């Protein structure tokens, strides 16, 4: 997974350093005030390019180029309202363009720019900023990555870091104010998913300032001088007097107000305009016009199909019991679990290096940026998902494939091959990095992550492992099927809980019945779906579309079909909506036939 937190959390978490599943790119930012878009009457590529530049400059205008300036964004009510109004103006201007006068690549950009802007406006319209957290993440967690935006070899930049820390209290106060507004109208997270959430806040508060995660960048410095010593003293004072106090106030708010008054049901449809919001999120995350009932039915069909394939694995290993007995065996037998965090990480590293060597079978172009393997940070690991891809934070950093080493008896080794293919390569790292390297594309194309495409590609990448013999044992292959089943079950339980009246326990039981995920993993996943409505639908629907397009290309082209060229065609335009992907592959098929 990538990516991808909701925009309202990305914005309120300071978008440029939030841990994202998106291909966030470190680009030069124009901090000028928004310019008035040029008239669309001329409909030229130049006018379109100017409009894109204007929109991008406005998006980046909240971040100053002054090294000493605070990087905390302005999230005051007036600013959010002004942003939404400006984005709507940009939407109106874009819609005035005669799309037929644009090139094919510009038409894709037009679609993606509208997709991005509509999401900004929609989330403001539905007051999504009232809920700036999910079960596993929030604005307070994103700040832990703040230091990546600063150069600690430069004292002016360090001053900017300290100034940013000083602004954390007012930033937290505004967030708490929005959450109280949500409480007043019933737009809050459910109690079920918030239990224990306060621990992620408490983990940041330290008695000794030197132990604070916000002071760690200073400890890592290998230089010392009088000016730096003074800055260190300032930082200690700010962390003690401002940062720790802000986190303590947020902790007290969660424990004394928010969690006790959180709602007792789990469906997003009980929020104000909740049913409409869920359909809006379906449209955003899947880029389709399907409704909850149709998606639920697709999920049930996929679950039945995958369950029959699971039975084939049981037959292969000679297991005489039921699928559920086999799953219980996998969950409890020690041979399938690492004994130490290092052992789990080393196995992930081995798998990563092994698939690296197999990529030329599948691709004719590979990304330049490398990736590393690292554990999920301990402060968020208990409620965090099994693994995640983190894009490079700047051009001196690699991407990272995060592996959760918390609760080792819940992290089966047979699931690690599929997880590696999804999060690292040929999944998120490969796709996101290639998109980031497309210098010919405008910023909006290189920095927009469309979940149905990216997560669909990640799940399709797991399938590719079977085709090239990556899964070494039947248990590994069952792990792949369990992961595919996991994504199919999401179609059932996400729609079930948010629209069709399912209880949390009903969703838990369904996932435990049909996947080989541990009970701990199932619990954290179900809570994620509850707190992040609709996002989990993107994986399976995206993969179904990619597989369908491949089948069409294979059937149409016959002997002329080249798998590496097909993958190049899928990835050639970056992250795109599924409708655009379908058009692109149709053009690819026609081009090959024309040759």
- Measured CA to CA, the distance from residue 252 to residue 184 in angstroms comes to 18
Specify the pLDDT at position 3.
Answer: 44
pLDDT at site 9: 53
Nearest to 276 by CA among 288, 263, 292: 292
CA neighbor of 214 nearest in space, from 244, 246, 257, 174: 244
Contact 407, 385 (CB under 8 A): no
Q: What is the rounded distance in angstroms from the CA atom of residue 142 to the CA atom of residue 393?
A: 13
Q: What's the CA gap between 116 and 55, in Å, rounded?
A: 11
**Integer CA distances (angstroms), 36 to 104, 180, 445, 556, in order:** 26, 35, 22, 47
Within a 10 A sphere around the Cβ of 277, how many other Cβ atoms? 23
> If residue 492 lies in a helix (H) or strand (E), which one and from where to where?
helix 474-498
- Confidence at residue 16, expressed as pLDDT on a 0 to 100 scale: 35
Three-state DSSP class for residue 499: coil
> To 10 degrees, the CA torsion angle through 536, 533, 583, 486?
10
Handedness of CA 113, 119, 125, 127 (dihedral sign): negative
Measured CA angle at 36 (ends 33, 37), to 5 deg:
125
What pLDDT sits at residue 25? 26
pLDDT tens for the 595 residues of the chain, in order:
654 455 545 444 443 333 333 332 222 333 334 444 444 444 578 899 999 999 999 999 877 778 999 999 999 999 999 999 999 999 999 999 999 999 999 999 999 999 999 999 999 999 999 999 999 889 999 999 888 889 999 999 999 999 999 999 999 999 999 999 999 999 999 999 999 999 999 999 999 999 999 999 999 898 888 999 999 999 999 999 999 999 999 999 999 999 999 999 999 999 999 999 999 999 999 999 999 999 999 999 999 999 999 999 999 999 999 999 999 999 999 999 999 999 999 999 999 999 999 999 999 999 999 999 999 998 889 878 899 999 998 888 999 999 999 999 999 999 999 999 999 999 999 999 999 999 999 999 998 999 999 999 999 999 999 999 999 999 999 999 999 999 999 999 999 999 999 999 999 999 999 988 888 889 999 999 999 999 999 999 999 999 999 999 999 999 999 999 999 999 999 999 999 999 999 999 999 998 7
Percentage with pLDDT > 90 across the chain: 83
Domain ranges of the chain: 7-188+198-258, 280-540, 544-594
Give yes or no for a cis peptide into 426 (omega within 30° of 0): yes
Secondary-structure percent of the chain, ordered helix, strand, coil, rounded to 5:
65, 5, 30
pLDDT value, residue 379: 82
What is the crossing angle of helices 104-125 and 578-594, to 10°?
170
Judge whether 63 and 94 are in contact, CB under 8 Å: no
Write the CA distances from 453 to 417, 427, 448, 461, 541, integer angstroms.
21, 11, 11, 12, 9
Task: Give the tokens for residue 135.
Answer: 């079960």
Residue in 51, 75, 72, 53 with CA at minimum distance from that of residue 63: 72
State residue 549's pLDDT score.
Answer: 98
Task: Tell me what pLDDT residue 2 has.
Answer: 58
Q: Could you report the per-residue pLDDT of 525-536, keeping only the tens digit for each?
A: 999 999 999 999
Sorted by sequence, the CB contacts under 8 Å of residue 98 that are 6+ apart come out as: 43
Measure Cα distances from 207 to 164, 165, 212, 236 in Å: 21, 17, 8, 12
Q: How far is CA 353 from CA 346, 417, 426, in A?
A: 11, 11, 12
Q: What is the DSSP letter of 240?
A: I
Per-residue burial over 553-573, b if 16 or more Cβ lie within 10 Å, else e, is beeebeeeeebebbbebbbeb
């Amino acid at each position: 997974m990538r990516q991808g937190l909701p925009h309202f959390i990305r914005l309120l978490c300071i978008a440029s350093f939030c841990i994202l599943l998106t291909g966030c790119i470190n680009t030069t930012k124009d901090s000028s005030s928004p310019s008035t878009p040029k008239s669309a009457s001329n409909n030229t590529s130049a006018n379109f390019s100017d409009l894109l530049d204007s929109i991008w400059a406005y998006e980046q205008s909240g971040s100053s180029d002054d090294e000493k300036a605070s990087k905390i964004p302005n999230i005051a009510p007036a600013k959010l309202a002004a942003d939404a109004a400006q984005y709507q103006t940009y939407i109106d201007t874009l819609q005035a363009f005669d799309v037929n006068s644009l090139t094919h690549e510009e038409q894709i950009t037009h679609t993606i720019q509208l997709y991005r802007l509509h999401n900004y406006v929609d989330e403001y319209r539905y007051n999504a900023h009232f809920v700036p957290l999910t079960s596993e993440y929030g604005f307070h967690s994103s700040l832990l990555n703040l230091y990546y935006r600063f150069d600690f070899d430069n004292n002016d930049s360090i001053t900017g870091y300290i100034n940013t820390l000083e602004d954390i209290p007012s930033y937290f106060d505004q967030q708490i104010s929005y959450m109280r507004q949500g409480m007043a109208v019933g737009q809050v997270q459910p109690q079920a998913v918030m239990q224990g959430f306060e621990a992620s806040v408490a983990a940041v508060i330290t008695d000794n300032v030197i132990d604070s995660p916000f002071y760690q960048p200073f400890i890592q410095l290998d230089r010392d001088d009088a000016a730096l010593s003074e800055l260190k003293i300032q930082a200690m004072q700010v962390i003690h007097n401002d940062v720790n106090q802000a986190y303590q106030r947020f902790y007290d708010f969660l424990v004394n107000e928010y969690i006790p008054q959180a709602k007792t049901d789990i469906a997003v449809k009980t929020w104000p305009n909740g049913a409409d919001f869920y359909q809006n999120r379906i449209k955003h995350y899947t880029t389709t016009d399907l409704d909850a009932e149709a998606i639920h039915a697709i999920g049930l069909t996929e679950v039945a199909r995958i369950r029959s394939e699971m039975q084939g694995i049981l037959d292969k290993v000679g297991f005489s019991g039921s699928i559920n007995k086999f799953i219980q065996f996998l969950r409890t037998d020690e041979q399938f679990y690492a004994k130490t965090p290092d052992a789990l990480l080393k196995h992930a590293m081995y798998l990563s290096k092994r698939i690296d060597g197999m990529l030329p079978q599948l691709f004719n172009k590979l990304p330049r940026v490398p990736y590393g393997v690292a554990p999920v940070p301990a402060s968020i690991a208990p409620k965090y998902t099994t693994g995640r891809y983190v894009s490079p934070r700047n051009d001196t950093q690699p991407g990272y494939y995060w592996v959760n080493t918390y609760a080792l008896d819940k992290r089966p080794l047979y699931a690690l091959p599929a997880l590696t293919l999804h999060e690292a390569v040929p999944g998120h790292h490969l796709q996101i990095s290639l998109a980031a390297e497309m210098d010919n594309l405008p910023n909006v194309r290189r920095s927009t992550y469309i979940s149905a495409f990216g997560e669909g590609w990640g799940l399709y990448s797991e399938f590719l492992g079977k085709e090239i013999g990556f899964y070494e044992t039947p248990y590994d292959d069952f792990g792949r099927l369990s992961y595919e089943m996991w994504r199919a079950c999401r179609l059932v339980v996400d729609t079930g809980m948010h629209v069709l009246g399912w209880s949390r326990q009903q969703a838990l039981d369904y996932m435990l019945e049909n996947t080989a995920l541990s009970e701990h993993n199932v619990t954290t996943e179900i809570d994620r779906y509850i707190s992040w409505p609709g996002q989990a639908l993107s994986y399976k629907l995206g993969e179904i579309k990619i597989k369908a397009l491949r089948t069409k290309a294979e059937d149409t082209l016959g002997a002329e079909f080249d798998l590496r060229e097909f993958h190049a065609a899928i990835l050639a335009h970056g992250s795109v909506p599924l409708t655009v992907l379908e058009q692109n592959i149709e053009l690819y098929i026609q081009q090959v036939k024309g040759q």
